[in-house]
Structure 1
Amino acid sequence: MSVALLWVVSPCDVSNGTGFLVSVREGNRIFDSSGRRNLACNERIKRGGGKQRWSFGSYLGGAQTGSGRKFSVRSAIVATPAGEMTMSSERMVYDVVLRQAALVKRQLRSTDELDVKKDIPIPGTLGLLSEAYDRCSEVCAEYAKTFYLGTMLMTPERRKAIWAIYVWCRRTDELVDGPNASHITPAALDRWEDRLEDVFSGRPFDMLDAALSDTVSKFPVDIQPFRDMIEGMRMDLRKSRYRNFDELYLYCYYVAGTVGLMSVPIMGIAPESKATTESVYNAALALGIANQLTNILRDVGEDARRGRVYLPQDELAQAGLSDEDIFAGRVTDKWRIFMKKQIQRARKFFDEAEKGVTELSAASRWPVLASLLLYRRILDEIEANDYNNFTKRAYVSKPKKLIALPIAYAKSLVPSTRT
């Protein structure tokens, strides 16, 4: 699933283009514990290629708990090939959802404004933080133009926080799919997770980390979804096949659903919403899964050329297909039938997602809806290509994007109606 992604480099080691990688390996810090910058280092951003696992519109879908529609956990217990009983991926993820919702309920006000902590001036640091957020803004504007435009409707504090989270997610993804991905080991990801712990403890390594550290000090953002995204990177290092949808679902959560859980506290919940906090988090998860399933269906051919198959092996077998058919890249009737079912499942997640967007604060709905509508249209384009996702890349044309934006904006004006 190749797209152009950024690569963030610490100029302490830029001569071989692996500065960011070296900073992960060795823990080079350009902010000390007081938040002051080590001026011996700077940063730059350059473009790299890799597979994007997540979409930054993955914030809200639509599943209910409590007295409303129930979040669909198809089976809490599943059997392993050895006959052992274990908890399903959806059940494990739902437990994370409950913990995140509990955190927000403890710390969010019941108004449409978040209880954002004010800056505590520290001599010499406020200008650096402003520069850090400006850099995050530049990255978001370059690599997520439509989403960036939508963030301009948010309050200044919210949009800065979203930019900081966006940049961290891209940097994390680049660890295993950037130009130096071949050098990344599980130990390097362990060091990246240690660095994350430092960020949440107020000890950022570099300018972009400083923006995230400031964000998590102001908003009720929990560290667990960030850890889980890193776990998704570990999964990509050791796994290139998925036996069933339960395994694939967990992967989709790790690399995309987590973005929704990170972002709900920033996006905010509409004050008039009657939905439970848990249902809003479930909704965020639904759109993350939908977007990632769409990524997978769009990039079958690209992934196959890298020796990867992100499709449930048991469902392929049931359709009379195998990895060899995918590597051969032949569009057959069996393939078309198989793809129709996969697209149908992705659309169900999108349908659930769209029902929940109105639970967000009014200023946050447009970028989410724009992402939802545009990503869902990729499925239409796969169909228009006669299900040839081996040699044809499905994409939404600029005219169609321009049409979708005002539609998304109009939908974003619809107030919350859940009871």
Structure 2
Amino acid sequence: MGSVDVVIVGAGVIGAACAEALSAAGQRVLVLDRGSPTGGTTAAGEGNVLVSDKEPGPELELAQESRRYWPLLLASLREELGAKLAEAEWDAKGGLVVALGETDATALAGFAETQRAAGVDARVISVDEVREREPHLTDGIRAAVYYPEDAQLQPVLAASALLSAVRARGGAVRGGVAVTGVGTDASGAVSSVNTSDGAISCRAVVNACGPWAGEFARAAGAPIAVLPRRGMVLVTAPLPDVVRHKVYDADYVGATVSGDADLQTSTVVESTRAGTVLIGSSRQRVGFDETIRVEVLRELARKAVGLFPVLGNVPVMRAYGGFRPYTPDHLPVIGADPRLPGLWHATGHEGAGIGLAAATGRLLADQFLGRESVLDPEPFRVDRPALLEGATA
């Protein structure tokens, strides 16, 4: 492919969603990834599409719009591509947040109340209903909130479906191509990207590099504070109907919004369509260290058994880890970089990228094309202090 309108750097679910939205609007799109498309952070995700874990504010609004749009987008892709290419294992299973102690129970009820005020369907349910929904949960549950809007999909399949649409519309997706910087024209605007395969002419580039977005932004001459945050997941052998919803302990919300670099774990348990059970979650800022830490896995297993005692004798097939793109103020960055015309960013979603991808792609495309958006882009702007000051700290 010669000259294109937009080069998307990063072929994970965020880059794929941006590419899909731009190609749907008629833009000539090229998606590049230094590794295998969908093989980075997206492949290490659990596929969560959640509203239950987000405080009222811009990220929750992005999540609500994405939750509304994901099934519509997948339906349109099935019509365009056929069921096989558009299969993403969408499962509107609902989420269950539980508290094991009285203090957590009080906090959970208060959190649910604030979410309901923001339009989230958050239903406080009795312990008896908890038992009906999840018969294998521990008897120690003190309170629970059911979130019928929570859903799950298979992240690699979802990203692959989005990229298939890009190809079907005449765009291209190439793996094994490293983007090392950008070229500019006489006015100082982006005119090309420099890659391991040579320069490619374009009029815009989207930084969708996930945890590596900070590195790419520096290479482009417009640094932003996006850092990697390591997470680990255990995968059990296939089981019968043991876990029916996404179930997590109330302390999970606190872990997602914490900026602490030290290890944090919280109990998250859910099944997949294949019958395996995914056990998380951990958060730790260790750079790009890929070491599998046994102590982290033990902590995840111990907490999961505390929630679902039946898992105590279930074999673990494997463990995997990945890096999430973390920003100091815990908000994604979605939009144009005012320091370099033609440079756009779509990153910083940390562990919520799968769920936020559909709305992120639309929000970026709306801004790129000058269309009115259903979401206010202002909170996600590139030049907010936390992103720029943190980049030079």
- For the criterion TM > 0.5, the same-fold answer is no
TM-score (normalizing by structure 2): 0.30
**TM-score, structure 1 length as denominator?**
0.29
Structure with the bigger percentage of helix:
1
Specify which structure has the higher proportion of strand. Answer: 2
